[in-house]
Amino acid sequence: MSDAKYVMAIDQGTTSTRAIIFDHDGQVVTVGQFEHEQIFPRAGWVEHDPNEIWANTRRAVAHALAMSDDLTGDDIAAVGITNQRETAVVWDKTTGRPVYNAIVWQDTRTQKICDELAGDEGVNRYKDICGLPLATYFAGPKVTWILDNVEGAREKAERGDLLLGTTDSWVLWHMTGGVNGGIHVTDVTNASRTMLMDLEKLTWDEGICADMRIPMSMLPEIRSSAEVYGEGRRQGFLSGVPIAGILGDQQAATFGQACFERGMAKNTYGTGNFMLMNTGTEIVRSQNGLLTTVCYKIGDADTVYALEGSIAVSGSLIQWLRDNLGLISSAAEVEELARSVDDNGGAYFVPAFSGLFAPYWRQDARGALVGLTRFVNKGHIARAALESTAFQSREVVEAMLADAKNEDIELTELKVDGGMTANDTLMQFQADQLGVPVIRPKVAETTALGAAYAAGIAVGFWDGERDVIANWAEDKRWEPQMDEEERERTFRLWKKAVTKTFDWVDDDVV
C-alpha cells in the first residue's frame, strides 16, 4: 500500500455526479458535485447525455481535489465507482461517442419489447436465471431498443464496433484511457441488473442475449466488486491511481452501512426507494415480487446475495409537489406542511407515475390520490405524500420476510440513508409502520462510502469488513410509537388505495 491518506469515490447518480474524498475513519474530506440535465423527449421517456456525465465526472474530481490546497492525485490510494444501476449506454469504441443518449432506469419505452419477450411464458421467463422479471426497469431491453431504433447501430454492433454498459462501465472506460486503451469492465452487482447475467455462474447468459438480439462482443467483462481494474489515464487528475472498486448504488449503500450479516437490511430514500436485505451466500428466489440480486463480491471471496425491493417514486414525488404543483417552494418545506395537520385526513397518495415496482410490478398502474373529502387540505396531501414512501417500504419488508421465512431470517431494525432521512416525520412514521427501530448513521454518504470501502479494501487501505464495521456509527434512532390497531388500519387503507391504480394504461391511454 502507498503512503496515500485518502480514498476517492465517484458517485454517478441519477441527478448528479459527485467525487467524494474519504479519510481512513470513513469521514468526508471534500466533495465535488455537478448536476446533469434530465431529458424527457416524450411521456415515459427519461434520458441523460453520457458526454455530460463524463465531463461532470472530470469536473467533480478536479473540484474535490481543489477544495483542499494540498491535495493531489498522489494523495489518493484508490478510486471506487458507484452508479445508477440500470441506466444503459451504448457507444462506439473507435470514436468514444455514444450512439444515443443514456436511457435511464425510470424510462418505460421498452414495455413493448418486454411484452414480446414475455410471450406466453410471462414476465418471469428469465427469473430463474437472472433473478429479475421482465420489466422496463432493467438495462438489457434498453440496449435492444437502441440497436433497433438508432440508424446503423445494429450493423455496427454486429461488426463489433459498439460497446454497452451501465454508467459505471462508461465512466471506467473513459477514466482508464477511452479510445486509447480504456478498460471495458463492470462488476457483478451492476451486471446483475441487466437481465443478461446468470446469477449462479456470474457470467453473461448467451441465450438471453440472443433473445434480446444483443451481440456478446458489446458486453463488458464481469469482475468482482473489489479488485484493481486499471489505473487512471495518464492525462487525467488521477493519473496512475488504482481504480479498484465498483458497486451499483444500492449495493454500495448496503456495504457502506456494514450490512454484512444475513438478515441485515438497509433502505435508501432517494429519487426512488431501494431496500436490500443480505441473504448470505445462498440465492433466495423471491416468490413475493422481489428481485434476487448480487449484494457484493469482494475479490476472490464468496459472492453475497440479497433480496431487493425497488420503489420507483419516493423523493421524486416531493420534487413533483414542488415543480409540477407548486405546493411547496423547496423540498425541505414538505415536512413543515405535513406537520401542520395531525394525520393524512383520510387521503392516500399512490405515486405510480411510471407503474408500480416491487412487490407488484404493474406497468399498467398510474398515480392516484384517493380518499378525498372537502376536509382535505394541502397539509394532508403533503403528509399523504410522505406516508406513501413508508407504506411502500413496509410492503417491501413484508415481501422480504415472506421470502426469507424458510431461511429463518427476521428483521430487528432497519438502517436508513439518503436525503429523505433528514425528515423526522417520515422516519418516525416508517418506524411506526414497521414496528422496529429505524437507524440513521453519522456519515450520511453511505453510497459513496461503500464504493470507497470496496476500493480501499482492494489495495489494503482498509482491513476488510472489520474496518467498515468499526467506522460505522449511529447518529439517530426512531423507535415505533403507533399502536398496532392504528398501524394496521392505515396500512389496510393504503393497500386498498393501491388497487385503485391498476389497469389504468390501455390501448388508448399512454
Show binding-site residues. Answer: 14-16, 18, 85-86, 137, 249-250, 271, 315, 319, 419, 423
Annotated binding residues for glycerol, written as ranges, equal 85-86, 137, 249-250
DSSP 3-state of 181: coil
CA distance 266 to 274: 8
Residue 336 cell numbers, joined:
413543515
Grid coordinates of 346: 383520510
Cβ-proximal residues to 397 (8 Å cutoff; 6+ apart), any chain: 265, 275, 309, 411, 414, 434
Residue 340: alpha-carbon gap to chain centroid: 32
Q: Which amino acid is at 314?
A: S
Q: How many CA atoms lie within 13 A of 319 on its CB side?
A: 11
Identify whether the C-beta of residue 186 lies closer than 8 Å to the C-beta of residue 165: yes
* Feature table: binding site for ATP: 14-16, 271, 315, 319, 419
Answer for the pair 68, 232: CB distance below 8 angstroms, yes or no: no
SS (H, E, C) 44-69: CCCEECHHHHHHHHHHHHHHHHHCCC
**Residues forming the annotated binding site for ADP?**
14, 18, 271, 315, 419, 423
Main-chain dihedrals φ then ψ at residue 122, nearest 5 degrees: 90, 180
CA distances to 112, 303, 419 from 38, in Å? 23, 35, 19
C-alpha cell at 145: 431498443
Residue numbers belonging to the annotated binding site for sn-glycerol 3-phosphate: 14, 85-86, 137, 249
Q: Single out the residue of 205, 66, 56, 69 nearest to residue 127, CA to CA.
A: 205
Among left, alpha and beta (phi > 0; psi -120 to 50; other), residue 40 is beta
